[in-house]
Amino acid sequence: MQLMAYLQNAFGIGYEERLNEVWSASFSLPADDDKNAECLPLRYVEIFDGEERVDLFRIMPTKTQRSYDGKTITYSCEHVLATLMDDIMFQYHQVGGAGFPISSVIQYILSKQSTPRWEFDACEFDDEFEYNYENDNLISALFAVTEPLESDYMWTWDTSTTPWTLNLVRPETQPSAWIRYGKNLEGITVDEDPTQLITRIYPLGYGEGVNQLNIVDVNPTGLPYIDADTIGEYGVIAYPYVDLSIDNAATLYAAAKSVLEQMKRPRRTYSVEGLELYRLTSDPIDKFRTGAMVRIIDEELGIDIIDRVQVRGRPDIEGAPGDVKLEIANKADSQATDTNKLASRQRISETYAQGATNIDTQNFADNCDPDHPAVLQVYVPEGTARINKLSLMYETEAFRAFSKAIAAAPATTSGPSSIETTENGGASINTNTGQQLWNIDYNYGLPEVSERTGGHNHGIAPGTQLSTPGGGYVTFVGADNHSHGLVSHQHVFDIPAHYHEMEHTHEIPEHTHEIEYGIFEGPIPSALTITVDGNTMPGGSTSGADIDIIPYLSKDANGRVQRGVWHEIKIAPDSLGRIVASVVMQLFVQSRGGGDY
């Protein structure tokens, strides 16, 4: 940053520091001061209280007025923490939860700055909560981070260097300064206000009507409200705590407990007009700081208390350098009120999408048998915030067919075929005969062999002389009856293993089966078995209406019906049959996610 001007003629310089809020300041210049030209809207102003730097502010509205002592221009300023109002978390953001401490949430919020002026430095809290933002400005989102914290906290910062740094710390618990009547206490007003007293709180978050988020599932008592430990003292004073930005029950529960802790007793405020003696004494006990614990003693009024400085104001550091105004209270102004002020300024509460209730019916009808159950699948969208109702209705009917026969076209079956005859190791066949006598006969001039016939010759007349080698001869003599004996013997034939191949074709001539169209009914089951996501439902009635199946649906680790998955309903009869069923779902679906097609 570049120094543009030193406002040496400024007067009426004052500032107010509020715990965990945006500080404010103001100053005036004579209307004819040339430095007015440098005091433009949104320019930064560094304010000092004596030698001590107060902080860095930026100019906001200006007011020009004429008074008896001349014409002046007054400038109102806000702390530069308000620069976080210049950016928004556009549309929907979900951040935090298990494994993501508060520090990571703060860093995520600061990452949305269009101009990175702020960085996160230190955090003394490691709580883990889930946060949802939708079109929030960054400072509203930042202050919402601390809403679930039950213990005291304090935002601190350093704007002396750039980038500016932000811290979330635990404030001191022991008194560091004293205010005593007769020393530095000039005036005191005690205000005890029971109008913001609450002893029972009903937290409500995202949604509407019966679909609005509550704490029943996370409250140890199982009730939709939380009671303060002061209910016995003040009675039941109920209050609905509504934060539509919260859609996590644990975060809602923690935020409501934090609010109840602050509002369970009447707000007691001490408005103190005192003297800032630190400039004179340099004693820390005379130094009043926002967020510090201070002891107030006034014996005449019977006051001796220790409470925290909620507001510290210096109305005129030049005209009345010792004057200081303190607001010391047992608790800050209603946290819910502060949050609503921020929301009203940006009208962000009107931009939160709250979703809508939807009713969907899925119908189903099919044949089935014991081995092939009727299967109906139901999808629960990922964006379902709440399931109000999921019921089953069904009836059992007779098995249904729609024809008795079908037509058949001509058909031919052809191709090679083999018929095998196999003898393991081959085969042997034996032939045996007995001994028999055979006679040689001459019949019709031709030789032949016959069984047991008379004498015969072989075409040579008896007495014929037959020559022999060497020149001699012999005389042929016809044989008398005789026989040749055949000795008993056998013939062995070996047949090896073999097969015979045959090509063949079977031809089925064209023919037709006549079709009989219609609706034909079969048997009706007498009992059913119904399973939902593998869980068998009791009973076996053949019909049912408005049956709650939510207890049988598959659940996630938190015991809620699984989202973003198909749930399966199976209905198995004890015989052939037909099932007609419907599933009715009443869901509350978030208006988040998806596209615009």
Predicted pLDDT of residue 591:
63
Q: What distance in Å separates the CA atoms of residue 226 and residue 199, rounded to the nearest whole number?
A: 8
Q: Convert 511-579 into a string of H (helix), E (strand) and C (coil).
A: CCCCCCEEEEECCCCCCEEEEECCEECCCCCCEEEEEECHHHCCECCCCCECCCEEEEEEEEECCCEEE
pLDDT in tens, the chain (597 residues): 788 999 999 999 999 999 999 999 999 999 889 999 999 999 999 999 988 899 999 998 777 676 666 788 999 999 999 999 999 999 888 898 888 999 999 999 999 999 999 999 999 999 888 888 888 999 999 999 998 888 899 999 999 999 999 999 999 999 988 888 878 888 888 888 888 899 999 999 888 777 788 999 999 999 999 999 999 999 999 999 988 878 889 989 999 998 898 889 888 888 888 888 877 888 888 889 999 999 988 887 788 889 999 999 999 998 888 889 999 987 766 444 444 444 443 444 454 556 677 888 889 899 999 999 999 999 998 878 888 899 999 999 999 988 776 555 555 555 554 444 444 445 555 555 554 544 544 444 444 444 455 555 666 777 777 777 777 777 777 666 666 555 666 767 676 766 666 676 767 777 676 777 888 888 999 999 999 999 999 988 999 999 999 999 999 988 889 999 999 999 999 999 999 999 999 888 766 655 555
Listed in order, strand segments (DSSP E) in 216-261 are: 226-227, 238-242
Predicted pLDDT of residue 493:
63
Q: What secondary structure does DSSP assign to 305-348, as a single string?
A: EEEEEEEEEES-TTTSTTEEEEEEESS-S-HHHHHHHHHHHHTG
Predicted pLDDT of residue 120:
95
Strands 175-180 and 293-298: parallel
Q: Which CATH class is domain 356-400+521-589?
A: mainly beta
CB 79, CB 56: distance < 8 Å? yes
Instruction: Judge if the upstream peptide bond of residue 175 is cis by omega within 30 degrees of 0.
Output: no
Instruction: Give which of 354, 66, 35, 419 is closest to 208, Cα–Cα.
Output: 354
Please compute, for residue 513, the number of CA atoms within 13 A of its CA located in the half-sphere on the CB side: 10
Cα distances from 580 to residues 366, 396, 398, 524, in angstroms, run 7, 7, 11, 13
Predicted pLDDT of residue 339:
42
CB 110, CB 123: distance < 8 Å? no
Task: Say if residue 17 is exposed, middle or buried (CB neighbours under 10 Å; 0-12, 13-18, 19+).
Answer: buried
CB 24, CB 79: distance < 8 Å? yes
Please tell me the pTM assigned to this model: 0.60
Strands 565-573 and 323-329: unpaired
Instruction: Give which of 177, 183, 191, 193 is closest to 298, Cα–Cα.
Output: 183
Q: Convert 199-226 into a string of H (helix), E (strand) and C (coil).
A: CEEEEECCCCHHHCCCCCCCCCCCCCCE
Q: In whole angstroms, what separates CA 546 from the centre of its chain?
A: 29
Q: How many CB atoms lie within 10 A of CB 124?
A: 14
Angle between helices 335-346 and 138-145 (to 10 degrees): 160
- For the chain, the domains span 11-81, 200-263, 356-400+521-589
Q: How many CB atoms lie within 10 A of CB 577?
A: 25
* Structure token digits, residue 588: 């509350």
Q: In whole angstroms, what separates CA 432 from the centre of its chain?
A: 96
Instruction: Give which of 214, 81, 55 is closest to 140, Cα–Cα.
Output: 81
Instruction: Give which of 16, 336, 309 is closest to 154, Cα–Cα.
Output: 309
CB 25, CB 54: distance < 8 Å? yes
Predicted pLDDT of residue 487:
62
Q: What distance in Å separates the CA atoms of residue 382 and residue 359, rounded to the nearest whole number?
A: 16
Tokens 């923690």 locate to 254
Mapping DSSP to helix (H, G, I), strand (E, B) and coil, where does residue 253 land? Answer: helix
